[in-house]
């Protein structure tokens, strides 16, 4: 029986003459060699199915071979990193790639990617230049810093500052600020990795000025403040603000450094949203160095921005690690364009998608949800309920943005099955679930995506 089936497998040269093979060859514009390799793999697959007795008699052998080849072909044209429609309402969803770039940033990325550029070439001098110089002036302009540089991400920036200025020496941190961000970034671990010695002071809920004062010794290199981005201590608490430590740091000749995490350049509190410290305010208070992320509240590409004292930044620029942690030209292009929007804060609000989505009002979201619902076919059960969206990215955890959720269910389909199908299809759609219904928050959905979202929803209710 097995032998009979195995004998039915056509030889490769015969399969190559088949109409189906010729069609595949034309459709993918691929070489004969590659397609032949896939054909051989498909034949081996069918052969092993027959040998392992998992072959189903109904299927034609030749058909199965070509089905396997065309599956391999579609996989070849499929990307692993793909577009997702974010229906969760979480603006800086870390798992979904954090910030979406502004149009200006996207344009600049394309310029950097498609042409040669003055990445490390001084056009005025006609000689080698520095990639740090490209971005420094704009960071200075929007933060008021004396100097600045950019590295791979904020985790890298924290590591760099600690290792460059405190390796083998002590860094004083309040126990209330020894945070873990997103599972893989812990202040204590990054400190250990950097070679700096952590000196914890105070307690989880209270740290006083006198704790800092008492902890400083000749071993101390730095006082480090960490913005507790992703959690809040409430109740019986007290912490010392950076501005109250500047004098102490100067007197004792230690560096005062603050890891700001998100690093706001736009004041969202004017919209009643959170109380994130503004980068320029923190620097104006006399902190020597700050670091913050490019792809959190700033709304740009993944990057870590280090800003502050020129004397210290100059040392970082000359450090061996500056090369190790440097960013590429596309990041620099996107970051420069993003930062330019912040020269005028009205412009920032108009151009930066992250800011636009965060301040999007409940009423706008309701209108958008209603507009979308009117496009859906009548079989869907839909309702709108009041709920909250999150900023995300470990930023402003206590801020709940008021929103409306569109709840969808279908009389003939299980919600869980539809949610899974939405995730697995093309374009992938990630939603929330509420009361066993598909829950979509239009805060994070652009009207450009309505058609695609509609197509996907109408499709998953059918399969």
Ligand X SMILES: *Cc1c(COP(=O)(O)O)cnc(C)c1O
108, 336 contact by CB (below 8 A): yes
Instruction: Name which position in 155, 198, 298, 352 contacts ligand X (CB under 6 A).
Output: 155
Nearest distance from C-beta of residue 380 to ligand X, angstroms: 38
Choose between 88 and 154: whose C-beta lies nearer to ligand X: 154
Minimum separation from the CB atom of position 34 to ligand X (A): 39
Binding range to ligand X, per CB under 6 A, among 107-115, 211-219, 223-231, 377-385 = 223-231
Closest residue by beta carbon to ligand X: 261
- Per-residue contact track with ligand X, 301 to 330, x per CB under 6 A? ---x--------------------------
What's the token pair of residue 142?
A: 């929007």
Q: Quick check: helix, strand or coil at residue 263?
A: coil
**Strand, coil or helix: 295:** coil
**Interior angle at CA 207, CA 202 and CA 208, nearest 5:** 115
Among 348, 394, 415, 457, binds ligand X (CB under 6 A): 394
Answer for which of 153, 341, 369, 389 binds ligand X (CB under 6 A) is 153
In the complex, least distance from residue 159 CB atom to ligand X, rounded to whole angstroms: 9
Which of 229/431 has CB closer to ligand X? 229
Of 20-28, 70-78, 154-162, 425-433, the window that binds ligand X (rule: CB under 6 A) is: 154-162
Q: Which is nearer to ligand X, 227 or 456 (CB)?
A: 227
CB within 8 A of 44, min separation 6: which ones?
A: none
Cα end-to-end distance, the chain, whole Å: 36
Residue 261 CB, shortest distance to ligand X, in Å, is: 3
Count how many Cα atoms sit within 13 Å of the Cα of residue 101 in the half-sphere of its side chain.
21
**149 forms part of the interface with ligand X (CB under 6 A):** no
Q: What is the 8-class DSSP label of residue 58?
A: T
> Does position 90 bind ligand X by CB under 6 A?
no
H or E element at residue 384 = strand 381-389
Does 431 sit near ligand X (CB under 6 A)?
Answer: no
- Please give the Cα distance from 165 to 318 (Å, whole number): 13
Strands (E), 202-315: 220-226, 255-261, 289-293, 304-308
Min dist CB 358 to ligand X, Å, is 16
Which of 227, 437, 443, 461 binds ligand X (CB under 6 A)? It is 227
The yes or no reply on residue 261 touching ligand X (CB under 6 A) is: yes
- Per-residue binding string, ligand X, 265-304, x by CB under 6 A, is ----------------------------x----------x
The answer to whether the bond into 2 is cis (omega within 30° of 0) is: no
Window contacting ligand X (CB under 6 A); options: 108-116, 148-156, 201-209, 235-243: 148-156
**Residue 261's beta-bridge partner residues?**
292
Q: Which stretch binds ligand X (CB under 6 A): 64-72, 151-159, 319-327, 405-413?
A: 151-159
* Of 196, 203, 272, residue with least CA distance to 233: 203
CB of 313 to ligand X, least distance (A): 19
Please, what is the minimum distance in Å from the beta carbon of residue 346 to ligand X? 27
CB of 158 to ligand X, least distance (A): 6
Interacting residues of 281 by C-beta distance below 8 A, sequence separation 6+: none
Q: Please report which helix (H) or strand (E) contains residue 351, including its range.
A: helix 345-351
Binding piece for ligand X, criterion CB under 6 A, among 31-39, 133-141, 221-229, 311-319: 221-229
Q: Does 186 bind ligand X (CB under 6 A)?
A: no
HSE value, Cβ hemisphere, 13 Å, CA-based, for 335: 30
Q: Is residue 331 part of the contact set for ligand X (CB under 6 A)?
A: no
Shortest reach from residue 181's CB to ligand X, in Å: 4
For the residues of 139-197, what is the DSSP string, one character each?
HHHHH--SEEEEES-HHHHHHHHHHHHHTTSEEEEEGGG--EETTTEEHHHHHHHHTPE
Residue 236 CB, nearest approach to ligand X (Å): 23
- 259 binds ligand X, rule: CB under 6 A: yes
Structure tokens, 5? 């089936």
Q: What angle do CA 304, 223, 302 make, to 5 degrees?
A: 10
Residue range at the interface with ligand X (CB under 6 A); choices 47-55, 115-123, 256-264, 446-454: 256-264
**Contact call for residue 225 and ligand X (CB under 6 A):** no
Cα–Cα distance for residue pair 463/460, rounded to 1 Å? 5
Tell me if residue 294 falls in helix, strand or coil. coil
Residues in the chain, total: 463
**326: which DSSP letter?**
P
Indicate the DSSP class of residue 94.
G
Query: Taking CB under 6 A as the rule, does residue 181 contact ligand X?
Result: yes
85-93, 142-150, 152-160, 282-290 -> range binding ligand X (CB under 6 A)? 152-160
Binding site residues, ligand X, CB under 6 A: 153-155, 158, 181, 185, 226-227, 229, 259, 261-262, 293, 304, 394
């Amino acid at each position: 029986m097995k032998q009979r089936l195995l004998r039915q497998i056509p030889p490769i040269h015969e399969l190559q003459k088949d109409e189906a093979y010729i069609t595949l060859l034309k459709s993918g514009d691929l070489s004969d060699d590659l397609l032949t390799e896939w054909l051989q793999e498909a034949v081996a697959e069918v052969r092993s199915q027959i040998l392992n007795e998992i072959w189903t008699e109904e299927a034609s052998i030749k058909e199965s071979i070509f089905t396997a080849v065309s599956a391999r072909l579609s996989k070849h044209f499929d990307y692993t990193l793909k577009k997702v429609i974010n229906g969760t309402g979480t603006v800086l969803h870390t798992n979904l790639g954090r910030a979406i770039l502004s149009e200006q940033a996207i344009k600049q990325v394309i310029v950097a990617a498609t042409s040669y550029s003055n990445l490390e070439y001084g056009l005025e001098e006609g000689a080698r230049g520095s990639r740090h110089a490209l971005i420094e002036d704009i960071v200075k302009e929007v933060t008021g810093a004396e100097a600045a540089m950019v590295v791979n991400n904020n985790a890298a920036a924290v590591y760099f500052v600690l290792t460059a200025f405190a390796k083998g020496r002590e860094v004083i941190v309040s126990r209330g600020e020894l945070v873990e961000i997103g599972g893989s970034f812990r202040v204590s671990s990054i400190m250990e990795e950097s070679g700096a010695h952590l000196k914890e002071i105070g307690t989880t809920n209270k740290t006083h000025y006198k704790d800092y004062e008492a902890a400083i010794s000749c071993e101390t290199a730095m006082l480090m403040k960490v913005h507790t981005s992703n959690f809040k201590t409430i109740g019986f608490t007290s912490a010392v603000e950076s501005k109250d430590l500047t004098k102490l740091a100067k007197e004792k000749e230690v560096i005062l450094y603050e890891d700001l995490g998100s690093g706001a350049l736009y004041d969202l509190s004017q919209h009643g949203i959170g109380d994130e410290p503004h980068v320029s305010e923190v620097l104006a208070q006399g902190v020597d160095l700050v670091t913050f992320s490019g792809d959190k509240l700033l709304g740009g590409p993944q990057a870590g921005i280090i800003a502050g004292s020129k004397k210290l930044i100059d040392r970082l620029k000359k450090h061996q690690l500056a090369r190790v942690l440097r960013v590429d030209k596309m990041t620099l292009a996107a970051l420069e364009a993003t930062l330019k929007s912040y020269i005028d804060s009205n412009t920032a609000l108009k151009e930066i998608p992250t800011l636009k989505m965060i301040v999007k009002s409940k009423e706008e979201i309701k209108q958008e949800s209603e507009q979308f619902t009117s496009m859906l076919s009548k079989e869907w059960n839909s309702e709108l309920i009041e709920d909250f969206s999150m900023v995300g990215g470990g930023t402003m955890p206590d801020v709940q943005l008021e929103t409306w959720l569109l709840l969808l269910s279908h009389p003939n389909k299980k919600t869980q099955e539809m949610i899974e199908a939405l995730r697995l299809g093309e374009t992938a759609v990630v939603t929330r679930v509420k009361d066993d219904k598909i829950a979509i928050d239009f805060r994070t959905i652009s009207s450009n995506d309505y058609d695609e979202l509609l197509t996907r929803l109408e499709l998953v209710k059918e399969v």
